[in-house]
A and B are shown apart, each in its own frame.
Chain A
């Protein structure tokens, strides 16, 4: 039972254009969502997060949108740069003292930004 899904295994965009990565979840108890970026042979790096009380969070070129009714979140990268080429994972957690911060990850989307 995949509670967090990234249905696009890969995405290819031109430098300077917008990259949109999508993620869907099924567990309505998730209340905190994160995006990680991963380069080959390295550990995932935290990128941006959003709490369920918000519908948008921005950090420079990166914006995460959350649509709770659709159980959908997306990551927008504008403008895309070749250095953004990596695997992107979305993750979710349940709040409250009993969850211990455990994250459930999607399968990942390989983003390739062409010069």
Chain B
């Protein structure tokens, strides 16, 4: 298994509060991604990073921000949590995208409930 951990694994928070989810990898991969999984939608890309301090928006980035200050850590922040952000969040890493390979390896997920 790829060395990817996510913390916390479960979180309950209240509407309007900021929340930060952490993804940590030990594989030294350059590319990292944040997805959310919701019923009927599969996994949808929130933000991704192609290097330290290099990030960009995905399909569903509104209400989310990310930071990557070192290779191994990719943080996802919900600036002001809303009930629509209740979801399961997955981090993924990839060793060599952009060359038709693009296989991603996923962490165990964080289940977030916004009340």
Contact = CB atoms under 8 A, between A and B. Distances in A.
A82 interface: no
B45 to A, nearest CB: 6
Interface of A: 4, 6, 31-32, 34, 36, 41-46, 49, 51, 89, 91, 93, 95-108
Interface in B36-54: 40-45, 48, 50
B24 to A, nearest CB: 14
Give chain B's interface residue range (CB within 8 Å of chain A).
Answer: 20 to 34
Given A46-B103, A51-B100, A103-B43, 4 more contacts: A100-B98, A103-B102, A107-B40, A108-B42
Contacts of B45: 102-104
Given A46-B105, A100-B50, A31 B90 contact: no
A107 B44 CA distance: 10
B58 interface: yes
